[in-house]
Chain A
Amino acid sequence: MVAGSAGRCGDRTDRRTATGMGGVSSAGRCGPCPRGGDTFTGPFPSCRFALFLAAAITPFLSNMSVYGPVVKIHPVVVASIVDSYERRNEGASRVIGTLLGTIDKHSVEVTNCFSVPHNESEDEVAVDMEFAKNMYELHRKVSPSEVIIGWYATGYDITEHSVLIHEYYSREAQNPIHLTVDTALQSGKMSVRAYLSAPMGVPGKTVGVMFTPLSVKYVYYDTECIGIELLQKTRTSPSRTNGLTSDLTQVAGSAAQTQEMLSTVLAYIEDVLAGKVTADNSVGRYLMDLVDKVPMIPAEDFETMLNSNINDLLMVTYLTNLTQTQIALNEKLVIM
Chain B
Amino acid sequence: MLAQHSTVSLVRPCFLSGSQVVLKIIKHYQEEGQGSEVVQGVLLGLVVEDRLEITNCFPFPQHTEEDADFDEVQYQMEMMRSLRHVNIDHLHVGWYQSTFYGSFVSRALLDSQFSYQHAIEESVVLIYDPIKTAQGSLSLKAYRLTPKLMEICKEKDFSAEGLKKAAVGYENMFEEVPIVIKNSHLISVLLWELEEKSTVPSKHELLSLSSSSHLEKSLQMLMDRVDDMSQDIVKFNTFSRNTSKQQQQKHQYIQRRQQENTQRQSRGEPPLPEEDISKMFKPPQPPPRMDTLLIAGQINTYCQTVKEFTSQNLGKLFMAEALQGHNS
Contact = CB atoms under 8 A, between A and B. Distances in A.
Interface of A: 74-76, 78-80, 82-89, 111-112, 114-117, 128, 131, 134-135, 138, 141-143, 145, 183, 185, 189-192, 216-232, 234-235, 239-248, 250-252, 254-255, 258, 294, 296-297, 299, 302, 306, 309-310, 313-314, 316-317, 320-321, 323-324, 327, 330-331, 334-336
B126 to A, nearest CB: 11
28 contacts: A76-B20, A83-B55, A83-B56, A87-B87, A115-B86, A131-B85, A141-B61, A145-B31, A190-B193, A222-B205, A223-B134, A224-B27, A225-B202, A230-B137, A231-B19, A235-B191, A241-B183, A242-B181, A243-B13, A243-B181, A251-B206, A255-B315, A297-B324, A299-B328, A323-B226, A323-B299, A334-B289, A335-B160
A75 B163 CA distance: 47
B61 to A, nearest CB: 5
B158 to A, nearest CB: 11
A143 B31 contact: yes
Interface string B233-244: 100100000000
Contacts of B3: none
Q: Which of A115, A216, A224, A247 has the most CB of B within 10 A?
A: A247
Nearest to A309: B317
B186 A310 contact: no
Given A247-B308, A251-B316, A218 B197 contact: yes
B23 A294 contact: no
Given A226-B136, A244-B179, A316-B306, A235 B192 contact: yes
The 4 closest A-B pairs by CB, nearest first: A76-B23, A320-B303, A87-B87, A79-B20
Contact of A135 (B82, B302, B328): B82
Contacts, number: 267
Nearest to B321: A306
Contact of B27 (A117, A221, A231, A241): A221
A231 B181 contact: yes
Contact of B79 (A89, A138, A245): A138
A321 B181 CA distance: 32
A240 B319 CA distance: 31
B272 interface: no
A294 B324 contact: yes
Interface stretch (B101-109, B148-156, B164-172, B260-268): B164-172
